[in-house]
C-alpha cells in the first residue's frame, strides 16, 4: 500500500543510514581500543537488548517457545540480515558495529583518498569475490559481508560531511546557485527512480564493473535530496525528536507493528490500510508511539546496562 515510495526508499535508505553514521565519525577522535569499548557499550548493548526483547515478545505472541533456542543461536551469529523474521532493522546495528571497528583501522591511513580507495576495494571484493554477494544472499556472521559492501557509504559520509555542511550554510550567491542546481538535478534523478525509471540505466548496463560502481552512485542523489530537505526542516520539533529516537525506532520495528493490532484487537478494532496516504499516516503514528510510549522506559534500562558495563570495563582495565 506504500506505492512507489517503497521501492524508492529501499533504493537508498540503508545507504543513508551508513552515510549518516560516517558523518558522525568526524567527531570520533578515540584510539582504536577506546573506540571498540565505546561501540560495545553504545551499539552492542542496545542490539542485544532489543534482540532479546524481540525473541521474548515473539514467543509470547506465537504462544510457543519452540523457536527461542534457534533464534538465540541466530542472535549470537549477529542477526544475519534476512535470517530472523522478527529482527527488523536490528541487523543495521551489528553491521554498523563491524563497520565502525573496521573503519577505525582504515582511518589510521590518514589521507582521505587512500581511505576511499581502500573502502572501494572492500566494496568490489564483496561484489565479485563473495558468492553469493551480500546484496543477493547475506550469509556471513555478524553481517561482515554486508559491512564490506556498505563501508563505502560510511566512508563517503565521513569524507563529504564538512563540504556538504559548508555548501548548505554558505551565504555566497554563487555557492547557493550551485547548491540549488545540485538539488534540482538530484530531485529529477530521484523522481525518475520514484517512478522506477533509472535515467542512467543504459550506462549501468554496459558491463558488470560499471554496473557495480553505479550501485554506489545511484543512492547518492536521493541521499543529497534527503539531507537538503532535512536541513531545511531542522528545528521542527517532532522531526528532531524522531531523529534522535532512531535507535529505538529501529529496535522496536517488529514489536510496534505487531503490538498495536494486538491491543486494538482487544476492543474488536481491526486496522485496514487501503490507500498509500493511510499507510504513510499509520507509519508516522507508529513512530510517534514508539517515541512517546516505549522509548522512555527502554532508554532508562539501556542506559543502566551501559553504565554498569562501562564501570565493569573500567574496573577490569584498572586490575591490569
- Per-residue confidence (pLDDT) for residue 80, from 0 to 100: 87
Q: Does the structure show a pLDDT above 80 at 48?
A: yes
Task: Give pLDDT, residue 41.
Answer: 95
pLDDT-based confidence at residue 204 (cuts at 50, 70, 90): confident
Q: What is the pLDDT of residues 58-113, one digit of tens each?
A: 888 877 777 788 888 888 999 888 877 666 688 999 999 999 999 999 999 989 99
41-50, 67-76, 248-257: least confident range: 67-76
- CA geometry: angle 37, 40, 43, nearest 5 deg: 135
Q: What is the mean pLDDT of residues 239-252?
A: 93
Segment 216-223 shows an average pLDDT of 95
Burial (Cβ within 10 Å: 0-12, 13-18, ≥19) of residue 238: exposed
pLDDT of residue 203: 77
Computed over every residue of the chain, the mean pLDDT equals 91
Joined grid coordinates for residue 178: 550551485
**How many other C-beta atoms are found inside a 10 Å radius of the C-beta of residue 27?**
7
pLDDT for the residue numbered 187: 95
- 45-49 — which CB contacts under 8 Å span 24+ positions? 45/302, 45/305, 45/306, 45/309, 46/93, 46/247, 46/251, 46/302, 47/79, 47/90, 47/93, 47/94, 47/97, 48/75, 49/251, 49/298, 49/301, 49/302, 49/305
Distance of CA 254 to the CA centre of its chain: 15
CB atoms closer than 10 angstroms to residue 296: 10
pLDDT at 237 over 70: yes
Return the DSSP state at 11. Answer: T
What is residue 252's predicted lDDT score, i.e. its pLDDT? Answer: 93
pLDDT score recorded for residue 1: 60
Amino acid at each position: 500500500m506504500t506505492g512507489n515510495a517503497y521501492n524508492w526508499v529501499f533504493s537508498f535508505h540503508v545507504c543513508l543510514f551508513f552515510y549518516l553514521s560516517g558523518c558522525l565519525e568526524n567527531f570520533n577522535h578515540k584510539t582504536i581500543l577506546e573506540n571498540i569499548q565505546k561501540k560495545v557499550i553504545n551499539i552492542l548493548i542496545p542490539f542485544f537488548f532489543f534482540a532479546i526483547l524481540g525473541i521474548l515478545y515473539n514467543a509470547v505472541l506465537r504462544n510457543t517457545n519452540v523457536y527461542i533456542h534457534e533464534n538465540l543461536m541466530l542472535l549470537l551469529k549477529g542477526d544475519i540480515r534476512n535470517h530472523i523474521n522478527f529482527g527488523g532493522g536490528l541487523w543495521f546495528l551489528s553491521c554498523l558495529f563491524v563497520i565502525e571497528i573496521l573503519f577505525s583501522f582504515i582511518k589510521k591511513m590518514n589521507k582521505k583518498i587512500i581511505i576511499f580507495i581502500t573502502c572501494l576495494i572492500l566494496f568490489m571484493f564483496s561484489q565479485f569475490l563473495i558468492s553469493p554477494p551480500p546484496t543477493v544472499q547475506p550469509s556471513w556472521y555478524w553481517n561482515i559481508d554486508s559491512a564490506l559492501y556498505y563501508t563505502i557509504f560510511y566512508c563517503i559520509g565521513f569524507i563529504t560531511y564538512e563540504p556538504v555542511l559548508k555548501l548548505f550554510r554558505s551565504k555566497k550567491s554563487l555557492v547557493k546557485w550551485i547548491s540549488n542546481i545540485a538539488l534540482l538535478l538530484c530531485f529529477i534523478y530521484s523522481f525518475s527512480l520514484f517512478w522506477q525509471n533509472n535515467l542512467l540505466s543504459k550506462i549501468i548496463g554496459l558491463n558488470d564493473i560499471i554496473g557495480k560502481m553505479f550501485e554506489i552512485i545511484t543512492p547518492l542523489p536521493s541521499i543529497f535530496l534527503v539531507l537538503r530537505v532535512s536541513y531545511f526542516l531542522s528545528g521542527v520539533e517532532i522531526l528532531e525528536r524522531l531523529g534522535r529516537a532512531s535507535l529505538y525506532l529501529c529496535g522496536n520495528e517488529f514489536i510496534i507493528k505487531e503490538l498495536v493490532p494486538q491491543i486494538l484487537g482487544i476492543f474488536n478494532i481491526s486496522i485496514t490500510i487501503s490507500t498509500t496516504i493511510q499507510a504513510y499516516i499509520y507509519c508516522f503514528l507508529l513512530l510517534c508511539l514508539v517515541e512517546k510510549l516505549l522509548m522512555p522506559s527502554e532508554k532508562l534500562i539501556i542506559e543502566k546496562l551501559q553504565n554498569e558495563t562501562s564501570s565493569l570495563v573500567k574496573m577490569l582495565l584498572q586490575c591490569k
